Amino acid sequence: MAEILQIVGAVLVLTGFFGTQIGVVDAKSLAYLVVNALGSGVLAVLALLGREWGFLLLEGVWCVVAAVSLVGVLANARRRRPYLWKPPGRQRSPQAH
């Protein structure tokens, strides 16, 4: 099972990298950051379990950088389009006075 997870994690990271190299994906896009955070996160956990410290350092930092960038992209999107982030529930409608 660990080998399958390694392949999945590597494919996720490499998909993002390949996409940026051929110009299909922007390195600051949501898609790129998500696949990088997920892929490197999976690989970091496997490195920790296997006590592979150098690999853990590489993938752990990769995951943290991708996750921090992802939070930044999401926060920026929220600032630009706050109407997309309203929680469900009662919405106040404008009333004429």
Q: Which residues contact 16 (CB under 8 A, 6 or more apart)?
A: 25, 31, 32, 35, 36, 39
Burial class (CB in 10 A: 0-12, 13-18, 19+), 85: exposed
**pLDDT in the model for residue 86:** 59
Which residue in 73, 72, 5 sits closest to 39, CA to CA? 5
Task: For residue range 77-91, list pLDDT tens digits in order.
Answer: 888 776 655 556 655
**Extents of the domains making up the chain:** 2-83
Percentage of the chain surpassing pLDDT 70? 84
Would the pLDDT of 92 be above 60? no
Amino acid code (one letter) for 45:
V
At 1-18, the pLDDT tens digits run 889 999 999 999 999 999
Structural contact between residues 55 and 43, judged by C-beta atoms closer than 8 angstroms: yes
Q: Tell me the pLDDT tens digit for each residue of 51-87.
A: 999 999 999 999 999 999 999 999 888 887 766 555 5
Average pLDDT over the chain, rounded to an integer? 88
For the whole model, what pTM was predicted? 0.76
